[in-house]
Amino acid sequence: MPAMTMTKPAKQAQLAVFLGFVDLISERYGLDRDHAHRLKLVLEEAIVNVVEHGYATRHEPGDLTLVADVDADGVAVVTLQDHGTPFGPDDAPPPDLDSDWVQRRVGGLGWHLIRELADAVAYHPGDAGGGRPNVLTLRVGGARPRADEARGAAQGGAA
Amino acid sequence: MRSFEVETRAQDGATIVAVAGSVDAVTSPRLSEALQAAATGGGHRVVVDLAGVTYVSSAGLRAILAGVKAARTAGGNLVVAAAQPQVRDVFELAGLTTIVAFHDEVAAAVAGLG
């Protein structure tokens, strides 16, 4: 089964389209309920980061590209590519989870959830221009392994 | 169209904000609006009924934390009722269960408001 890809402008008006694509990834790769939930959460947080912050200094936001695939071990691998201001997991301060309600910040939870729920997170900053993109790769298990995907597709084709 | 509904009603001196569907970056502004209205109006006693919620992201957590702050600043409180385990887990990961009281049922949540 080929990788799934979508590219749209990284703007608020496209958020529902991006989130709909995330639901399709889990459905297509057969993630179980728990892993589908985890994948949905980490991808929403990552997409929202790009939409709300990545192009904040630009008059018109650039594109965000999502590429999803599954490996031989049944791990869903999703990359997000954008040309906005680089900002990775190491740039995000950890939230203070022990502060009281007065001190607790309303924001800052997105990267925390990504770090907690993804099986692996890798970030390679780009050049913040039209050249090399920022690439965030997120891995979440629980999908049908790629070999099974290929067999399923072959059986489907023969039926 | 993403599934999301929010309804507000009065019950035993509290305002119940019943939510259903997916509370995400697209739908959470509607929850924020309902919670701010409930927290700053009436007796500032709010129960957020999450029984029908299947998914919550940090956008939903922010809406509820902002609601807690608004209700307490006004001299009241906001508590959560009937969250499904998967939804409650997200609150726990975010460290919010130490700030917001969780109850299994709406009636207990109303009583818990004191």
**For chain B, what are the domain ranges?**
6-112
For residue A22, pLDDT beyond 70:
yes
Compute the average pLDDT of residues A38-45: 96
Interface of A with B in 46-75 (CB under 8 A): 47-48, 51
Q: How far is CA A40 from CA A27, A139, B14, B54, B79, in A?
A: 11, 12, 33, 12, 26
Interface of A with B in 88-117 (CB under 8 A): 95, 97-98, 100-102, 104, 106-107, 109-110, 112-113, 116-117
Question: pLDDT (tens digit, 9 = 90+) per residue, B53-110?
Answer: 999 999 999 999 999 999 999 999 999 999 999 999 999 999 999 999 999 999 999 9
Q: What percent of chain A lies above the pLDDT cut of 90?
A: 62
B24: chain A residues, CB-CB within 8 Å: 19, 44
For residue A8, pLDDT beyond 80:
yes
Rounded CA-CA distance A4/A95 in Å is 33
pLDDT, residue B20, reads: 98
Q: What percent of chain A lies above the pLDDT cut of 70?
A: 91
Compute the average pLDDT of residues A6-27: 94
For residue A156, pLDDT beyond 70:
no
- Alpha carbon A70 to its chain's center: 14
Instruction: Give the 3-state secondary structure of residue A30.
Output: coil
3-state secondary structure A58-98: CCCCCEEEEEEEECCCCCEEEEEEECCCCCCHHHCCCCCCC
pLDDT, residue A13, reads: 92
Asked if B28 and B60 touch (Cβ cutoff 8 Å), the reply is: yes
The pTM (predicted TM-score) of the whole model is 0.90
Binary contact (A100, B99; C-beta < 8 A): yes
pLDDT, residue A159, reads: 35
Q: Does A142 touch chain B (CB under 8 A)?
A: no
A23: chain B residues, CB-CB within 8 Å: none
Virtual CA dihedral for A68, A18, A82, A77, nearest 10 degrees? Answer: -20
Q: Which of B27, B35, B57, B89 should be substituted to probe chain A, the one whose Cβ sees the most A Cβ atoms within 10 Å?
A: B57
Q: Which residues contact B66 (CB under 8 A, 6 or more apart)?
A: A106, B32, B35, B36
Ramachandran angles phi, psi of B12, nearest 5°: 50, 45
Asked if B6 and B37 touch (Cβ cutoff 8 Å), the reply is: no
Quote the tokens at residue B68.
Answer: 């807690």
Rounded CA-CA distance A77/A35 in Å is 12
For residue B34, pLDDT beyond 90:
yes
Name the residue facing A19 among B24, B62, B66 (closest C-beta). B24
Q: Sorting pLDDT into bands at 50, 70 and 90, what band is A1?
A: low
Closest to A141 measured CA to CA, from A75, A60, A84, A92: A75
A48: closest chain B residue by CA:
B25
The CATH fold assigned to B6-112 is Transcription Regulator spoIIAA (3.30.750)
For residue A157, pLDDT beyond 50:
no
H or E element, residue B103: strand B102-103
Question: pLDDT (tens digit, 9 = 90+) per residue, A66-107?
Answer: 999 999 999 999 999 999 999 888 888 888 888 999 898 888
Please report, as a single letter, which amino acid is at residue B45. Answer: R
Instruction: Give the 3-state secondary structure of residue B45.
Output: strand
- Cβ-based interface (< 8 Å): residues of B facing A: 2, 24-26, 55, 57-59, 61-62, 65-66, 68-69, 72, 86, 90, 93-95, 98-99
| C-alpha torsion sign, points B74, B75, B81, B83 | positive
ipTM over 0.85: yes
Give the distance from residue A126's alpha carbon to the nearest chain B alpha carbon, in angstroms.
26
